[in-house]
A = this chain, B = another copy of it.
């Protein structure tokens, strides 16, 4: 059995090294690659991805799993061997059930759709993308049907990013949140919004970057195993547990944009840096789910990053960094500014309170599209109606409406959005559990000593492939989950 386990680990190691190599190429493409490199780079990334896929779908992987399954069944569920066999089986089954012919067809279509969308969005031309989205919808249903036996056609698509969740379980969670959230939004927005003019002054780029990174480091982001660069859209990318990088963008007249995106990405990155190195090169080193990954970014961005306690420590430093801009602004005024609540049209710009309403709109529309109760051509109107009903404002055009997010135009329809809100919910749950277990946490945050416990929380939710709902935080050792 040890021989078979070793062989499985060796094969998985090559797959993840190929994926890690492809990720380095992607990072370079988005940070420093000159324009002339694009054509060859597309080819190189595609080749590495194809080789990784070929190695994952090698029938020998299936034979090794068949041989190891009875052995793993005798082990505790959360043991490394049982988890490795179970999670590898899951990704192997998914990989072999989706024909290579389909993947090629789907990739070609989504690439073409993305290009059309890139032109259609600034032109506010939804009509242009209709035939593409209709085909995407067909391809999404085709993907779901590679995994028969579902209750709702969206279930296999949701399962791809949030393992173990279904349309029904997500809808139930969202209904509960929504019932409590809508009155809060109404009450908050009945009052005039906070004044955040102090955030919209001239803030030199270098100082913004350095300040955000300083907080991220104190949170626990390890620069010996990471780095911060600038890109058009912020992201986190890992090549191994020893090299997990983040990016941010900087707006000269918006202090919060770079700052909180740096803290958000640092949250994602600390999750991956926190993986036990012995899991490297296996699927156990990947995040548990999109939702759990997002819980870590939102925890650090919002629950810690926008807390009053944190800024009791950092605000005097921020004032010292930007004395002309913030010297006359009180901590209270700054705290209200970074927590301003105001319904808006764009999800990625939304505040912490209204954000989840944006996600729910998208989730419900995805389900309706997949069910066939909503036609693609009727999507813009449905979008406007929901925004008017839920947020009290409707987009004047499709550019800031249904065309705003890349997800449907660069991938499948279904499963793309629920993780954002699941992550928000879990971030609150993790923090709540952490404070119950360690009541000193809020005081430690106010002393900028915030990294200790919650990085431990992240560790408990990674590695065993159990869905995040089964886990509590800071109430058990990482090994026991």
Contact = CB atoms under 8 A, between A and B. Distances in A.
B242 A39 contact: yes
A43 B24 CA distance: 13
Interface stretch (A218-226, A394-402, A408-416): A218-226
A20 interface: yes
A292 B324 CA distance: 58
Task: Bin chain A's interface residue count.
Answer: 35 or more
Interface in A117-157: none
Given A24-B28, A28-B28, A51-B51, A243 B44 contact: no
Nearest to A222: B36
A361 interface: no
Contacts of A43: 13, 17
Interface string A1-33: 000000000000110011011101101100011
B34 A225 contact: yes
A278 B236 CA distance: 36
Contacts of A41: 239-240, 243
Contact of A239 (B18, B40, B239): B40
Contact of A37 (B14, B33, B239): B239
Interface in A238-270: 239-240, 242-243, 245
Contacts of A35: 224-225
B36 A20 contact: no
A415 B14 CA distance: 34
A227 interface: yes
Nearest to A226: B34
B239 A44 contact: yes
Contact of A240 (B39, B48, B239): B39
Contacts of A14: 47
From A24, A222, A245, A280, residue with most partner B Cβ within 10 Å: A24
A433 to B, nearest CB: 29
B21 A243 contact: no
B20 A44 contact: yes
A374 interface: no
Contacts of A44: 17-18, 20-21, 24, 239
9 contacts: A14-B47, A17-B43, A17-B44, A20-B44, A34-B223, A36-B240, A37-B225, A37-B243, A40-B239
Interface of A: 13-14, 17-18, 20-22, 24-25, 27-28, 32-41, 43-44, 47-48, 51, 222-227, 229, 239-240, 242-243, 245, 280
